[in-house]
Structure 1
Amino acid sequence: MRHTELTMGRSFALAFDDGDDFVAELTGFCAEMGIRQAIIPMFLGGFRRVALVGANGPLEDPEAPVWDDETVLHTVEAVGAATVAWSPESDSLAPHIHVAVGRKDLGAAGSVSHLLRAEVQFIQEMFLQEVVSPRLLRPKCGPHAVPTLSFEPGAETEPS
């Protein structure tokens, strides 16, 4: 495990509106406010459509990440959390968002996964906390080149 102490900056409450593209609105807000790294401890609300990482059937390699398969669900309630860091490979914002969703039409049957895309239904409420330092990065690491949260060189706390 790696760890570092964070210096926090501004705090924001965001209210997404019906029909908003959730990821585009989030990344647009961060760009407008000059936010390159943040934690999102919680968001909640509804999605008209949500695309999650998920396969329908056996995985070829259960130890490898699922990159290309997605599951699309409609009319769900959602709760989630995220981190926002900078991708050095793409030189862009790299949010890592996970959600738990329940389908309104199937007795709130649930799914939990990495969020790819979503269209807001009615409202999404989010709290976002900017991280001032250290720089949070999301380079590709490990045998499967998974974008992984890292800290600027020298920022990691040494084990005691």
Structure 2
Amino acid sequence: MRSTELTMGRSFALAFDDGDDLVKELTRFCTAQRIRQAIIPMFLGGFRRVGLVGAAGPLKNPEAPVWEETVLTTVEAVGAGTLAWSPETDSLAPHLHVAVGRKDLEAAGSVSHLLWAEVQFIQEMALQEVISPVMERPKCGPYDVPTLSFGPSSSRIAPS
């Protein structure tokens, strides 16, 4: 496990509008505000369409990450995430997870990594800028999974 103390910066409330591309608008906002790293403690609202990580059948290797996409429509959602910088792409690397309930299936639920989403009606988000340390998301491990890392003030906790 890695840990670090965060120095927080500005706080924002965002309200995404009907039809907005959530990830694109979030990235555009962060670029305009010069935000390279943040935590998103909460977002909630509706999505007309949403792309989540998910496979349509049995996993070939349950220990490996899943890269397939599943698309759901007309869902209510609540989520959270982090924003860090990708050294490989020199761009913002959002890591967002959501729990969604399908309106057409008695709120049947799914929980996964959010790839993209089209807002339906409204999506509200709290965003807290992180000033330090530097947060990056380099690809790590045997599967090149983008993984949150911290600058030099972070510490590693040894397993007990």
> Normalized against structure 2, the TM-score is what?
0.97
- The RMSD of aligned alpha carbons is 1.0
One-letter identity of the residue aligned with 2:84: A
The 5 A counterparts of 1:54-133 are 54-67=54-67, 69-133=68-132
CA separation in 2, counterparts of 1:158 and 1:104? 43
Q: 1:27: which partner in 2?
A: 27
CA separation in 1, counterparts of 2:154 and 2:29? 28
CA separation in 2, counterparts of 1:91 and 1:136? 13
> SS in structure 1 opposite 2:119?
strand
CA separation in 2, counterparts of 1:157 and 1:2? 6
Q: Post-superposition shift, 1:158? A: 5.4
- Whether the aligned pair in 2 keeps the contact of 1:76 and 1:104 (CA below 8 Å) is yes
> Normalized against structure 1, the TM-score is what?
0.97
CA separation in 1, counterparts of 2:155 and 2:48? 42
Q: Post-superposition shift, 1:155? A: 1.6
Q: Post-superposition shift, 1:157? A: 2.8
Q: Post-superposition shift, 1:156? A: 1.1
> SS in structure 1 opposite 2:32?
helix
**Structure 1 unaligned runs (5+)?**
none
Q: Structure 1 stretches (4+) deviating beyond 3 angstroms?
A: none
> For residues 16 and 139 of structure 1, do their structure 2 counterparts lie closer, same or farther at Cα, with a shift above 3 Å needed?
same
**Structure 2 unaligned runs (5+)?**
none
Identity of aligned residues (%): 78
> For residues 158 and 48 of structure 1, do their structure 2 counterparts lie closer, same or farther at Cα, with a shift above 3 Å needed?
closer
Q: In the comparison of the two structures, how many residue pairs are matched?
A: 158
